[in-house]
Amino acid sequence: MNKVLFLCTGNYYRSRYAEILFNWHAERESLAWRADSRALNPDPANYGPMSRHTMAALRALGIPYEPYLRFPLLAADIDFSDARHIVAVKEQEHRPLIEQNFPAWTERVEFWHVHDLDCAEPRDALPQLHELVMKLVMRLRLEP
């Protein structure tokens, strides 16, 4: 099974949405891929295991998120080495964290440009993230 690793700052909102959405579609399409997600710099102010915005968006799509309820996990080298494909959801925010903490992996990371809550409302950011995840599913469908 190939692994996709989604990275964001807190592993609470964007990367969790990407992970669950990807796994939902990969399973339905019988892809030999599975996603996981990790934090690069978790915020202790995040309350609970997952953002309410993430849960609401997945609920609206009819995608169960309950099996994924866990507290955010901090990225480690093993997460990078276990992944065949790595995505950081916002380059401006995440490239410096990766270069500082995981410099050997920077060149393997695909950087997206999906804003966090400080720059965009969930009604704008989550559809953008949804589209990028679906494009990734389509790309990986073509890989051997």
48: left (phi over 0), alpha (psi -120 to 50) or beta: left
Residue 67 belongs to domain with CATH number: 3.40.50.2300
Q: Which segments of the chain are extended strands (E)?
A: 2-8, 33-39, 85-88, 109-111
Distance set, CA 42 to CA 11, 45, 68, 73, 75 (Å): 7, 9, 17, 8, 10
| Single pTM value for the model | 0.96
Distance set, CA 14 to CA 10, 71, 143 (Å): 8, 14, 25
Domain range for 46 is 2-141
Q: Which amino acid is at 43?
A: D
As a whole-number percent, the residues of the chain with pLDDT over 90 amount to: 88
Instruction: Work out the average pLDDT over 63-89.
Output: 97
Indicate whether 117 pLDDT > 80.
no
Instruction: Work out the average pLDDT over 3-31.
Output: 97
Instruction: Provide the domain count of the chain.
Output: 1
**pLDDT tier, 45 (very low <50, low <70, confident <90, very high otherwise):** confident
Indicate whether 144 pLDDT > 70.
no
43 or 9: which carries more pLDDT confidence? 9
